[in-house]
Structure 1
């Protein structure tokens, strides 16, 4: 088209240019939309709520294991002039380690509850979830070693070992053996709950929005 001695050529906009401008005009770049973000937040919040429930249950189990083993003591009604038949958890280093380890685990679980609440309030927060999965894994290791070692001692107390001339003391110290067995069961319950906590944290970290 000619006007005032100049020539202007209209070049139609190509489809490639229109495609390139669409994200800028529409504001829809790559990434999740509001619906997907809300869905991801709901998914993580549900996991965080279940995590809190399991964490409180694990803390209760660990406290029960610590209290049960830490108060285990029995004195037989018969005794001699120079010797009294008594059994206590601190007579065996393994049971002492069990009490210390489970006390540490229960203390950690109680202190970790606020972090679990933070994960409920902020489902997409990454740092609290990473801290929980790291320390939960350490707690699983500590609780498993304590419960496993104590299980071996409880088994020997119930069954004895004829090859090593170890007597089955549970025939006399029935209450002592019953309480130590209960404590070990509570310890393994703590281990199972901690494993579930680690799995939940892994699931929460796997799905990002």
Structure 2
């Protein structure tokens, strides 16, 4: 009877070992699947940062557009028939500045859904590549507008004695302050767009 009992216990132990061996790979698979992918997490973090930067660039571009577009000053010590007035649309460079920054603002609004797609699907290389191409284009567009307007603002502040261009900021102080602020905001938008280009390049490099 003891031999029969020993045989039964040996059979039970063998069955338990086989059962444990059969379940071990399944447990390993569950652990492997539950382990988060660090690369995917990093790409999602880059995409979230990209979205935040796009909002910052949008705010800066809108501020530049609205500030320059509402710039207008009339000197108060002249009669209504004889006035000195300074407005942004008196200069084609400032008009271009307003149009360029308005277009950049529109692009940044349209790019937000693509940035959200990159957050939801961090491995979507197509949306990221599209954003990279358009970001490069609008970086050049924004810098061109800001740089050309900065040259006019410099002349307004300092003039140019060689060409007999007088500095007008002593008389039109408010006008010069507004256009200077608009140019600074546009340069901020340009810098943020450059960071967006670098982020997109890093995200694509990780693919």
TM-score of the two chains, using structure 2 as the length reference: 0.82
Q: From the superposition, tell whether residues 151 and 36 of structure 1 become closer, same or farther in structure 2 (CA, over 3 Å).
A: farther
Where does residue 163 of structure 1 map in the other structure?
Answer: 162
User: Hey, which bits of structure 1, 4+ residues long, moved more than 6 A?
Assistant: 33-37
CA RMSD of aligned residues (A): 1.8
In the alignment, which residue of structure 1 is the partner of 2:50? 51
User: What is the aligned partner in structure 1 of residue 99 from structure 2?
Assistant: 100
Aligned length: 177
Query: Gapped runs of 5+ residues in structure 2?
Result: 1-24, 26-31
Say if 1:129 and 1:34 are closer, same or farther in 2 by CA, change over 3 A: farther
C-alpha distance in 1, partners of 2:112/2:149? 27
Shift of 1:204: 0.1
Deviation at 1:83, TM superposition (A): 2.6
- What is the match of residue 143 of structure 2? 144
Compute the displacement of 1:61 (Å).
0.3
- Within 1, Cα distance between the matches of 2:33 and 2:110? 34
Stretch of structure 1 that moved more, 194-203 or 71-80: 71-80
Q: Find the counterpart in structure 2 of residue 90 from structure 1.
A: 89
Structure 2 residue 202 is matched with structure 1 residue 207: no
Deviations 1:69-103 (A, max 9, x none): 00000000022575310000000000000000000
* CA distance 1:204–1:35, shift in 2 (3 Å): farther
C-alpha separation in 2, matches of 1:154 and 1:34 = 60
Cα separation, 2, equivalents of 1:36 and 1:144: 45
Contact 1:78–1:85 (Cα < 8 Å) also in 2: no
The residue that corresponds to 2:29 in the other structure is: none
Correspondence list, 1:118-197, <5 A: 118-197=117-196
Q: 1:199 to 1:66 in 2, by over 3 A?
A: same
Q: Report the TM-score when normalising by structure 1.
A: 0.81
Tell me the alpha carbon deviations over residues 22-69 of structure 1, each in whole angstroms, 9 at most, x when there is no partner.
xxxx9xxxxxx9699822211110000000000000000000000000
3-state DSSP of counterpart to 2:163: coil
What secondary structure is seen at the aligned counterpart in 2 of 1:171? coil
Structure 1 or 2: larger strand share?
A: 1
- Rounded to whole Å, the distance in 2 between the matches of 1:40 and 1:85 is 62
Q: Secondary structure at the match of 1:87?
A: strand
